[in-house]
Structure 1
Amino acid sequence: MTSPTFRPYTAQPRPRVLVVDDELPLLELVAGYLERDGFDVETAVDGPSAVTKARDWSPAIIVLDVGLPAMDGIEVCRTVRTFTDCYIIMLTARVDEIDKLVGLSVGADDYLTKPFSPRELVARVRAMLRRPRPSEQVDVGGAAPLVFGSLRIDVAGREIHRSGEPVDLTRTEFDVLATLAGKSRIVFSRQQLIEEVWGDGWLSDPHLVDVHIGHLRRKIGDDPSSPVFIRTVRGVGYQMGAGA
């Protein structure tokens, strides 16, 4: 069996949003708000059809409910991440942190807990599409990769290598790492990282930064009990280290 072809998201004239939820009234409400705000919207009511539409339609953002029939949102997110790096906002009716962290561990960028305001969701979608990229904030054309010990970060090419081996990161994980690496002398607070990566006015939980840092450390082989790449500065935040 051949592995799926990874297709990075490319901009569309009207940003595409795929909304996935088996609660039809909520699905129609959210889709209506997004359409009125100028988005091109497709919908799905179960996991398999969500994966198919994500592959065939190439949305910019997927709004994805956790509790789906046939194939839950966690598995949909994991599958979608094999062929696209579009943004994913998870929706959950369960408020415990485990559900939120599990969703983010398979590549989600953000979450909303039900019930939520459709206007807040639209605002988050808008803010997510406005997110500045580290490669867009500075002129990186022809810039040498950033090297921290065995870790090599090509900001322009959006590629990471550890000891010569490629590291697979989500868009958000890459942006967090590139931000830390690009200003390695700075200790970033959670709020500063949010402003750099997510942009001003971002509405989500600042502790999402901790979740993404945890995933980054795991993927780049940085022992959280004794990290050498991403240092925790107690009471302040995070800083890029020299590496090993």
Structure 2
Amino acid sequence: MYKSRILVVEDDPAISNLIRTTLETQEYQYHTAQNGAGALMEVISYKPDVMILDLGLPDMDGVDIIKRVRGFSSIPIIVVSARTEDQDKVDALDAGADDYLTKPFSIEEFLARIRAALRRSQAEKGTVGEESSVYTNGDLKIDYAARCVYVKDVEIHLTPIEYRLLCLLAHNTGKVLTHNLILKEVWGDTLASDVPSLRVFMATLRKKIEKNPSSPQYIQTHIGVGYRMIRQ
């Protein structure tokens, strides 16, 4: 049976030991690196399924590592860092990280983030070479060919911007998308809108697809950072 390979990039011995012990209990394979240079070599040689990355490494900043890895690999990257400022999270996610977990963290949440990253990666590999024309997530369905959206098989009428927002989130299910990334992808390089306007469009989209918009099950808000489509 295939065991997923995890690369742990962490220079704090206590945190590294905690993560390694946790991975061992779940029977994951893993390698470790204590600096950026070692991390880049391990990504190339070990070919891990997920990278757990601390931002504060002795030889280079974690954001720079993310940018360099993204130059040749789409491996899921989960940042685990003591940096709690929104801008740190935005910088890491904009650079290409898939998720961001702050220290101290719950072991249960840590493992859940790994499972989510692995599911997303496996789903992407399963559709390489063939773009599915229909997206399904719980009661939500998007027919890309017909440009139609359904909730419980009832067609929901969306504006063009709402449809583009929904498709962007759907294509990146499980991944946190920053405000800047969403604005760029939906409105273009000119960013013909701003974060307050984005919040308005997201609110109207939620009213149309969520059973309870005040407690959404599909689109999760990461305050000060962005949004994530949750797999049901």
TM-score of the alignment, normalized to the shorter chain, above 0.5: yes
Aligned to 1:241: none
C-alpha distance after superposition, 1:196-234 (max 9, x if no partner): 812xxxxx8xxx34x1x632553687133259xx9x735
Query: What secondary structure does 1:69 align onto?
Result: coil
1:236 and 2:225 aligned = no
C-alpha distance after superposition, 1:160-217 (max 9, x if no partner): xxxxxxxxxxxxxxxxxxx978374445788x9479812xxxxx8xxx34x1x63255
For residues 121 and 48 of structure 1, the distance between their equivalents in structure 2, rounded to whole angstroms, comes to 25
Aligned to 1:125: 114
Shift of the alpha carbon at 1:122? 1.4
For residues 28 and 100 of structure 2, the distance between their equivalents in structure 1, rounded to whole angstroms, comes to 20
For residues 91 and 49 of structure 1, the distance between their equivalents in structure 2, rounded to whole angstroms, comes to 17
Aligned to 1:225: 192
Shift of the alpha carbon at 1:118? 2.5
| 2:27 corresponds to which of 28, 38, 50 | 38
Shift of the alpha carbon at 1:71? 1.0
Shift of the alpha carbon at 1:28? 1.2
Query: What secondary structure does 1:90 align onto?
Result: strand
| 2:180 corresponds to which of 214, 222, 227 | 214
For residues 125 and 35 of structure 2, the distance between their equivalents in structure 1, rounded to whole angstroms, comes to 36
Task: Please identify, of 53-62 and 127-136, the stretch whose mean Cα deviation from structure 2 is larger.
Answer: 127-136
C-alpha distance after superposition, 1:78-104 (max 9, x if no partner): 111111101000112121100000001
1:48 and 2:37 aligned = yes
RMSD (Å), alpha carbons = 3.9
Aligned to 2:212: none
Contact 2:183 2:193 in 1 (8 A): no
For residues 108 and 28 of structure 2, the distance between their equivalents in structure 1, rounded to whole angstroms, comes to 14
Shift of the alpha carbon at 1:105? 1.1
The amino acid that maps onto 1:122 is L
Aligned to 2:76: 87
Please, what TM-score do these two structures have when normalized by structure 2?
0.64
Contact 1:105 1:215 in 2 (8 A): yes
Shift of the alpha carbon at 1:60? 0.7
Shift of the alpha carbon at 1:25? 1.1
After TM superposition, the structure 1 = structure 2 runs for residues 46-85 of structure 1, keeping only pairs within 5 Å, are: 46-85=35-74
For residues 95 and 205 of structure 2, the distance between their equivalents in structure 1, rounded to whole angstroms, comes to 24
Aligned to 1:197: 173
Shift of the alpha carbon at 1:43? 0.6
For residues 103 and 50 of structure 1, the distance between their equivalents in structure 2, rounded to whole angstroms, comes to 16
For residues 135 and 75 of structure 1, the distance between their equivalents in structure 2, rounded to whole angstroms, comes to 26
For residues 126 and 43 of structure 2, the distance between their equivalents in structure 1, rounded to whole angstroms, comes to 26
Query: What secondary structure does 1:233 align onto?
Result: helix
For residues 143 and 10 of structure 2, the distance between their equivalents in structure 1, rounded to whole angstroms, comes to 38
Stretches of structure 2 that go unaligned for 5 or more consecutive residues are: 133-140, 150-157, 207-232
Distance 1:235 1:66, change over 3 A: same
Shift of the alpha carbon at 1:235? 2.1
Distance 1:23 1:105, change over 3 A: same
Contact 1:64 1:73 in 2 (8 A): yes
Stretches of structure 1 that go unaligned for 5 or more consecutive residues are: 1-11, 142-154, 157-178, 199-203, 239-244
For residues 60 and 33 of structure 1, the distance between their equivalents in structure 2, rounded to whole angstroms, comes to 17
Query: Percentage identity across aligned positions?
Result: 30
The amino acid that maps onto 1:225 is A
Please, what TM-score do these two structures have when normalized by structure 1?
0.61
